[in-house]
């Protein structure tokens, strides 16, 4: 009994001794730390002297990109995905979740929590290492921003001193704001806003209590507690945070139960969307701001763009469907393609795709980086627009479609057939080559290049020949260049530089760039409208007729380039536009040879035209498409087709002109024809009819036709019978008509007159006749009187 009592007393004294020993040890550690801390602070060590708390605020921030409607499109970063959010926009329960688990006495200490240090120091000394954490939020912020991750007494002291200095420079809320915006959450997310988006697809102010607690639990060890790595451990850690929040009075018991039972639904990580467009934005932004990629991606800029997400999605979906493209090469290589869509009025880029698939960031974008031969798509830009502007050409101007040798250059039409004199409208809408070459020759290559250069078409020094009329460039053009060169036709004659950025804000929300208005007049509105009218014919009856869509007014030009070295085609183009959108599509192989070329039947009027047609149909599937506005200075009149031949000037249709022999055509108000057709009129009779005794005494009728188109009927009336008789019908094309009437009989008196007839005008089933000429009488004596 005594020994047992003695043993209990010894155990009790032993426990008291251990408590006393660790208490003394704890105070010793605290005293030692305080001594070293204040000595270091007062005396200053070199690395501590260099610490500037203000540098912490200069953290990397993610670049945000928005579409034309202000919707976030992309969040890009260099090394750290961070979206800065103000402390005022962070809900209290979010802040409290981090305080509860990381620094419950945050608002009570000055950067170093000596009370927490006691427990961790004792544990560390007991374990013989530095595993226990007592770091405050301020210390963690310093550690993550300014120190290495080593666990030594020296580093701990540095951390404490710097945390103290930090708290002298900033308020508690400012420190908490920096902390919540800086700390890593794993999965590429830095800061609470980026973490909310990455893990839950939401924003900080929309996080639930459970989501906030989960994120607060992750930061202790993201590689261990992140939900995408270990969901079970992440939920276990979340529930611990929720319990601490409840114990510290931040949430109610009901909140605790609901949050702990809430299912964790993670956001599906999205790939790099709209890659071709985003790459273009990055390049343009670097040029605008004069910064490199690293600075652009880490400075928190907000870039507002012209992107139409719906339109971009539609184009990308079309590019994923192989049926929209020509067949692959025999070795399996894809036929490539590129497409861009511009706002016809501003040249803002609405959508862009630079290849059949997006493969690497900042890689080849064929819509802007590639230059190819434009084929006949260049004709409106290089040939006919400047000819209209400088030479006064109109849609009815006649140009010769006939083979020719131009100093050794012998171009051919695609069909190798020729039509003689044709109107400019027909020449362009049917993409005839010879009229384009002849027009360029008359206009002058340098004059043509001057206009084309003004709308963004580049030329090499070697580009001086008439081959330019058919797209024979030394280097060529990109789809973006060609697309933008057509916008003046769509908007009344104005050219603007293409752009994808409308505004840039810095990390503070201040506007540091707004896209300037670069619009300049390059073409009269009359020429722009007349060109558009012709290119509408290209869609209605010409080479782009596959583009025709009922209810949608579209103007377009197709083009195809070939080579003598291959049996197929090199490039297939279509540029199409309406008053709102201008679209250019190119198709072909990156490197062209016999095994990598388009089939000879693949032209700009096939796959490229059909692809663009799909886009226009989708654009106006639920709304009315706009039409082009006719300027007040443009007049539409009815023209006689017969007058559009053989270099004659156009004339107005008459009341007798049949509908199928007349067309409506546009003219500048100072070029409107004033004369009516001389073809579709009442024919006139000759006024010089003469009848004499000719060979054998028979009547010889002679007269001069008044109109070449008319037919002239010679009518005879015998005075005895009194019945008109048709002698014959003769073409007015002859300069003089002389006819002998061998059916006349001797001994009779006859009266002759001429009835003019229009060969094509019918009234009530009868050809239109004009007033008859005056009659001439003649008498045939007996035969003996005329014998030699």
Q: What is the CA radius of gyration of the chain?
A: 45
Q: 291: Cβ–Cβ under 8 A, 6 or more apart, which residues? A: 285, 299
Work out the burial of residue 87: count CB atoms within 10 Å of its CB; fewer than 13 is exposed, 13-18 middle, 19 or more buried: middle
Residue 190: CB atoms within 10 Å: 25
Cα dist from 383 to 380, 467, 530, whole Å: 6, 11, 14
Helix axes of 92-102 and 209-218: crossing angle, nearest 10 degrees: 40
**Strands 662-668, 634-640: parallel, antiparallel or unpaired by DSSP?**
antiparallel
Active site residue 402: no
Cβ neighbours for 71, distance < 8 A, ≥ 6 positions apart:
309
List residues bridging with 499 in a β-sheet.
348
**Is-contact 376 560, C-beta < 8 A?**
yes
Q: Give the residue from 172, 104, 166 showing the smallest Cα distance to 139.
A: 166
Of the candidates 188, 185, 231, 175, the one whose C-alpha atom is nearest the C-alpha of residue 212 is 185
How many angstroms separate the CA atoms of 624 and 691, rounded?
A: 70
First vs last Cα of the chain: how many Å apart? 188
Pairing, β 511-514 against β 501-505: antiparallel
Contact 441, 409 (CB under 8 A): no
d(CA 117, CA 130): 12
Whether 429 is catalytic is no
Catalytic residue, from 102, 159, 177, 193: name it. 102
Q: How many CA atoms lie within 13 A of 165 on its CB side?
A: 23
Phi, psi at residue 7, to the nearest 5°?
Answer: -65, -40
Question: What is the DSSP secondary-structure string of 234-272?
Answer: HHHHHHHHHHHHHHTTSS-HHHHHHHHHPPP-PPPPP--
In angstroms, how far is CA 5 from the centroid of its own chain?
Answer: 94
**8 Å CB contact between 366 and 355:** yes
Tokens of 650: 């156009």
Catalytic residue among 135, 298, 347, 376: 376
Q: Which residues contact 252 (CB under 8 A, 6 or more apart)?
A: 246
438 CB-side CA count, 13 A = 21
Give me 23's structure tokens. 């208490």
- How does DSSP classify residue 190? E
Contacts of 290 (CB under 8 A, 6+ apart): none
Count CA atoms closer than 13 A to 27's CA, side-chain side: 5
- Which residues are annotated as catalytic? 102, 376
């Amino acid at each position: 009994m005594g020994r047992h009592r003695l043993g209990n007393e010894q155990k009790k004294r032993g426990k008291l001794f251990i408590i006393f020993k660790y208490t003394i040890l704890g105070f010793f550690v605290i005293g030692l730390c305080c001594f070293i801390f204040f000595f270091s602070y007062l005396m200053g060590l070199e690395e501590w002297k260099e610490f500037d708390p203000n540098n912490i605020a200069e953290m990397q921030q993610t670049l945000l990109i928005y579409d034309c409607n202000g919707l976030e499109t992309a969040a890009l970063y260099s090394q750290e995905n961070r979206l800065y959010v103000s402390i005022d926009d962070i809900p209290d329960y979010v802040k409290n979740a981090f305080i509860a688990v990381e620094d419950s006495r945050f608002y009570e200490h000055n950067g170093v929590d000596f009370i927490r240090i006691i427990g961790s120091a004792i544990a560390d000394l007991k374990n013989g290492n530095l595993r226990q954490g007592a770091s405050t939020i301020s210390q963690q912020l310093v550690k993550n921003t300014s120190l290495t991750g080593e666990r030594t007494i020296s580093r701990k002291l540095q951390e404490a001193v710097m945390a103290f200095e930090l708290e002298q420079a900033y308020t508690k809320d400012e420190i908490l704001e920096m902390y919540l915006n800086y700390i890593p959450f794993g999965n590429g997310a830095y800061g609470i806003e980026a973490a909310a988006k990455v893990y839950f697809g939401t924003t900080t102010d929309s996080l639930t209590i459970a989501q906030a607690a989960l994120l607060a639990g992750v930061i202790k060890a993201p590689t261990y507690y992140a939900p995408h790595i270990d969901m079970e451990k992440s939920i276990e850690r979340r529930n611990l945070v929720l319990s601490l929040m409840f114990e510290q009075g931040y949430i109610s018991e009901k909140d605790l139960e609901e949050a702990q039972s809430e299912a964790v639904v993670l956001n599906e990580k999205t790939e790099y969307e709209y890659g071709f467009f985003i790459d273009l934005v990055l390049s343009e932004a670097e040029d605008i701001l004069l910064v490199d990629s690293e600075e652009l991606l880490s400075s928190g800029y907000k870039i507002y763009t012209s992107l139409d997400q719906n339109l971009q999605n539609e184009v990308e979906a079309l590019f994923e469907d192989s049926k929209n493209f020509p067949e692959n090469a025999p070795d399996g290589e894809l036929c490539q393609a590129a497409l861009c869509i511009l706002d016809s009025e501003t040249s803002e880029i609405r959508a862009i795709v630079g290849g059949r698939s997006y493969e690497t960031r900042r890689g080849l974008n064929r819509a802007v980086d590639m230059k190819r031969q434009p084929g006949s798509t260049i004709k409106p830009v290089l040939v006919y627009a400047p000819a209209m502007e400088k030479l006064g050409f109109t849609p009815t101007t006649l140009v010769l479609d006939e083979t020719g040798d131009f100093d050794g250059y012998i171009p051919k039409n695609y069909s190798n057939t020729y039509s003689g004199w044709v109107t400019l409208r027909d020449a362009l809408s049917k993409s005839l080559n010879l009229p384009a070459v002849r027009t360029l020759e008359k206009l002058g290559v340098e004059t043509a290049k001057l206009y084309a250069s003004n709308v963004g078409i580049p030329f090499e020094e070697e580009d001086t020949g008439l081959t330019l009329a058919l797209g024979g460039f030394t280097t060529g053009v990109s789809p973006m260049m060609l697309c933008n060169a057509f916008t003046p036709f769509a908007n009344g004659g104005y050219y603007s530089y293409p752009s994808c950025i409308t505004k840039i804000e810095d990390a503070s929300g201040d506007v540091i760039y707004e896209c300037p208005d670069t619009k300049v007049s390059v073409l009269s509105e009359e020429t722009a409208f007349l060109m558009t009218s012709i290119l509408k014919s290209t869609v209605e009856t010409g080479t782009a007729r596959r583009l025709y869509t009922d209810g949608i007014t579209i103007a377009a030009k197709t083009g195809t380039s070939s080579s003598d070295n291959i049996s197929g085609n090199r490039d297939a183009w279509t540029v199409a536009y309406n008053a709102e959108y201008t679209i250019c599509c190119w198709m072909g192989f990156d490197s062209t040879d016999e095994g990598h070329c388009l089939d000879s039947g693949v032209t700009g009027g096939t796959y490229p035209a059909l692809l663009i047609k799909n886009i226009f149909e989708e654009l106006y599937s639920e709304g009315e498409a706009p039409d082009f506005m006719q300027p007040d200075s443009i007049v539409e009149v009815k023209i006689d087709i017969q007058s559009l031949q053989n270099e004659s000037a156009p004339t107005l249709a008459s009341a007798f002109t049949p509908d199928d022999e007349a067309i409506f055509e546009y003219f500048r108000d100072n070029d409107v024809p004033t004369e009516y057709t001389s073809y579709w009129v009442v024919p006139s009779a000759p006024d010089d009819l003469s009848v004499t005794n000719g060979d054998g005494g028979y009547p010889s009728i002679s007269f001069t036709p008044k109109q070449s188109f008319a037919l002239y009927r010679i009518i005879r009336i015998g005075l005895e019978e009194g019945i008109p008789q048709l002698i014959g019908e003769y073409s007015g094309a002859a300069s003089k008509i002389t006819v002998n009437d061998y059916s006349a009989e001797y001994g009779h008196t006859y009266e002759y007159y001429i009835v003019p007839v229009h060969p094509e005008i019918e009234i009530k089933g009868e050809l239109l006749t004009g007033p008859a000429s005056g009659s001439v009488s003649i008498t045939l004596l007996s035969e003996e009187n005329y014998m030699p």
